[in-house]
Amino acid sequence: MRILLVEDDAEAASYIAKGLQEVGHVVDHVGNGRDGLFMAMSERYDMMILDRMLPHVDGLSIVKAIRADNNATPVLVLSALGNVDDRVNGLRAGGDDYLVKPFAFAELLARVEALGRRGTGEAAEATVLRVEDLELDRLARRVTRAGKSIELQPREFRLLEYMLRNSGRVVTRTMLLENVWDYHFDPQTNLIDVHISRLRQKIDKGFERPLIHTVRGAGYRLGLE
Amino acid sequence: MDWSSRLLRTTAFRLSLSYLIIFTASAVTLIAVIYLTSNALVERQIMETIAAEIRGLSDQYRERGLVGLAELIHERGGNQPGRQSLYLLTGEDDRPIAGNLSVWPRDVIESEGWLRVPVRGQRGVDAIARWQSLPGGYRLLVGRSLHDVREVQRAVTRAMFLGLAATVVLGIVGSFVMSRQILQRIEGVNASIRRITRGEISQRLPRNGSDDEFDQLVANVNAMLDQIERLIDSIRAVSDNIAHDLRTPLHRLRSRIDVALMGDDAGELRATLEQTLAEADNLLATFNALLTIARAEAGARLGEFGSVDLAVVAHDVCELYEPLAEDRGVHLTCAVAAPLPVSGDRHLLSQALANLLDNAAKYTPPGGRVGVEVDPRRREVVVWDTGPGVPAEAREKVLERFSRLDATRSTPGNGLGLSLVAAVARLHDARLLLEDNQPGLRVRLVFPEA
């Protein structure tokens, strides 16, 4: 993907840019809001990563400006402001995701990949989500694997639905907590692992090839090995 | 700016002055109306008297003839000049026969048989008279001087204006005194505020105990200052705590890196780095928890409070912890069917309940039970467990930051869970009660009436 990174902290920027380039993305980096706004308005990108607090023009103003210009490029807002209200403001301004600093690179990468997929306009409203022999029918609220029906609790259903939408990509525990439970705090115990292992019991148990994989230091991935 | 010019600029003074002007204008109008009305009334009464008298005299003339009439005029004082009543009886050649006027008045304004004698050199009427022709070519004139009436009117008007002048003077003096009093009270308040602005934050505005509107204003401002001082204190306490409590783990982190740098085994270095990363993450979690507590404690309702159904919040949190409880062999029951709407912050309430449930699930041994109940009648959410509980004497202490019971040191946790619950409870005006579940701990969050 071609990614615009607007970040005034040079060290943080090189850390992000280096990491993204290593996995094959092309990153344009600018260090202040004015240049960021100019680049965002004049070039085509698949994704923008904007720091919230920037010299000259702040990140949220850039988002507002490109949204007013009917530019729907996915935007990930980075910020040191981590309150729920800060997050709400960030998303209300037109950001697609909000990541609080400091973060693990795996977290950033997972979110970039998830957003990038959304940007390709993949049928987000498809009624049947499918990976290999696993099928989830959103209308009938039914899950089958290899034609065999699987009973899921409502929350498990939503968990699987989210993982299916991001199949093949890493989803982090925080992403799951935010998107499946709408919680923006870290539970002291690692609850998500317990939920995943439960889901795993229902989806993978008795099948030769597991679909839910743990990605060490990052999160989980749904799909074949 | 000196005292008196400031006095003139006070609101109180301007207000009383404008009242004074309005009052004076209305008083002058009142006097004018009284004057004009009484004038018209007096003239009408005099005219009626004159008309009655001239009718009576004409009757007498018809009955008693010219001599009788002349006698009558004489009896009524018609022979003394300068009297109130004026009489004149003239013959054919306008020669006076009887009366206290020597000649027929000249320079009169005559209308409908009425004569008005103007005062020489002045506006107004000196006398009013009426005349009538009598058979035989005689003419009879009867009149009244208005001199005395005018005198009385003048005296009354003068008295009224003197009174008015006195009122105005008193009013101005009164405004000064009143403004001075108000200015003095404001000055007292201003002096206190200046001291507070200079940093004497414990200073309060002076009250005079009268409980008037001004005193109430001062009381409210004082209450506001109390709140501000409390907030400043709590911010100071929080930053002190953060400084103190983050320094220890930071120090640990630093020493670990130091030690790792002394060695040169790449594998060991990597292991240390991984440990350090985990420790940094813990540190961040602690830092975030502290910020959330500080935010809830400062009472800063940055996020809008909304209507939150605690039953839904409890249900969701229950669902989040249910697999964990099952994994640990703890039986979790959730009685959260009946809705309990409160005004609050959904995220903070969720986090508080999650912390309570986390503690309950963490400390209850396998085979034990944990329950969540929402009771709309008592407006409370209860989280209970059959774990070791908290001894009565330690219940206050566990709500403090970083407080952990000695028996729990081996369990992971940062000791901030319950302090966050306490802060969230305070933010929502809810009471946080720690009770004995016999056995175990029973935590009640009692919310105020909606």
Q: What is the DSSP string of B134-173?
A: ETTTEEEEEEEE-HHHHHHHHHHHHHHHHHHHHHHHHHHH
Phi, psi of B126 (to 5 degrees): -85, -35
**Closest CA–CA distance from residue B330 to any residue of chain A (Å):** 14
Chain B: closest CA distance from residue A204 (Å)? 17
Inter-chain CB proximity A185 and B347 less than 8 Å: yes
Q: How many CB atoms lie within 10 A of CB B110?
A: 11
By Cβ distance, the residue of A186, A194, A198 closest to B288 is A186
Report the residue of chain A nearest B353, measured CA to CA: A187
CB-based burial label for B220 (10 Å; 0-12, 13-18, 19+): exposed
- Residues facing residue B115 across a β-bridge: B110, B129
Q: What is the pLDDT of residues A47-68, one digit of tens each?
A: 999 999 888 888 899 999 999 9
Residue A1: closest CA among A11, A167, A17: A17
Integer-rounded Cα radius of gyration of chain A: 19
Q: Is the pLDDT of residue B118 over 70?
A: no
Nearest CA in chain B to A180: B320
List the single residue in A84, A155, A186 with the smallest CB-CB distance to B347. Answer: A84
Token pair, residue B113, equals 């048989």
Q: What H or E segment, with its residue span, contains residue B431?
A: strand B431-436
Q: Mean pLDDT throughout A100-113?
A: 89
- Beta strands B109-111 and B114-118, pairing class: antiparallel
Confidence of residue A176 (pLDDT cuts 50, 70, 90): very high
pLDDT greater than 70 at residue A121: no
By Cβ distance, the residue of B288, B324, B412 closest to A194 is B324
Cβ pair B320:A191 closer than 8 A: yes
Most confidently modeled of A28-32, B79-83, B96-100, B258-262?
A: A28-32
Q: β-pairing, B114-118 with B125-134?
A: antiparallel
Query: Element (H or E) spanning A30, and its range?
Result: strand A26-30
The residue among B237 and A46 whose pLDDT is bigger is: A46
Q: Judge: B320–A181 Cβ closer than 8 Å, yes or no.
A: yes
Is residue B82 pLDDT above 80, yes or no?
A: no
**B428 interfacial to chain A (CB closer than 8 Å):** no
Q: What is the pLDDT of residue B412?
A: 52
Q: What is the CA radius of gyration of chain B?
A: 50
CB B438: neighbour CB atoms within 10 A? 8
C-beta atoms of B284 and A102 within 8 A:
yes
Between chains, do A185 and B324 touch, taking CB under 8 Å as contact?
A: no
Burial class (CB in 10 A: 0-12, 13-18, 19+), B372: buried
- B323 close contact with A: CB closer than 8 A: yes
A189 → closest Cβ in B288, B362, B414: B362
Measured between CA atoms, how close is B15 to chain A, in angstroms? Answer: 47
- Residues in chain A with CB shorter than 8 Å from the CB of B320 are 181, 183, 187, 191, 195
Report the chain A residue with the minimal C-alpha distance to residue B295: A83
Nearest CA to A102 out of A134, A80, A122 is that of A80
Least confident of A193-197, B42-46, B311-315, B363-367: B42-46
Inspect the interface and report whether the beta carbons of A185 and B351 lie closer than 8 Å.
yes
How many beta-carbon pairs under 8 angstroms link A with B? 56
Whether chain A has a CB inside 8 Å of the CB on B362: the answer is yes
SS3 state at A135 = strand
pLDDT of residue A4: 94
Q: A185 and B354: CB-CB below 8 Å? A: yes
pTM surpassing 0.80? Answer: no
The 3-state secondary structure of B193-248, one letter per residue? HHHHHCCCCCCCCCCCCCCCHHHHHHHHHHHHHHHHHHHHHHHHHHHHHHHHHHHH
pLDDT band at B409, cuts 50/70/90? very low
Strand partners, B343: B307
CA nearest to A192 within chain B: B320
- As a whole number of angstroms, the longest Cα–Cα distance in chain A is 58
Quick check: B327 contacting A, CB < 8 Å?
A: yes
Instruction: Tell me what percent of the residues of chain B surpass a pLDDT of 70.
Output: 89
Alpha-carbon distance B417 to nearest alpha carbon in chain A (angstroms): 9
The whole-number pLDDT of residue B124 equals: 59
Quick check: B367 contacting A, CB < 8 Å?
no
Angle between helices A173-180 and A191-204 (to 10 degrees): 80
In angstroms, what separates the C-alpha of A223 from chain B's closest C-alpha? 24
Chain B CB contacts of A183 below 8 Å: 320, 347, 350-351, 354
The rounded distance, in Å, linking the Cα atoms of B104 and B121 is 20
The answer to whether the CB atoms of B302 and A85 lie below 8 A apart is yes
Look-up: residue for tokens 């008193």? Answer: B170
Structure-block tokens of residue B319: 């669902």
For residue B50, pLDDT over 70 is answered with yes
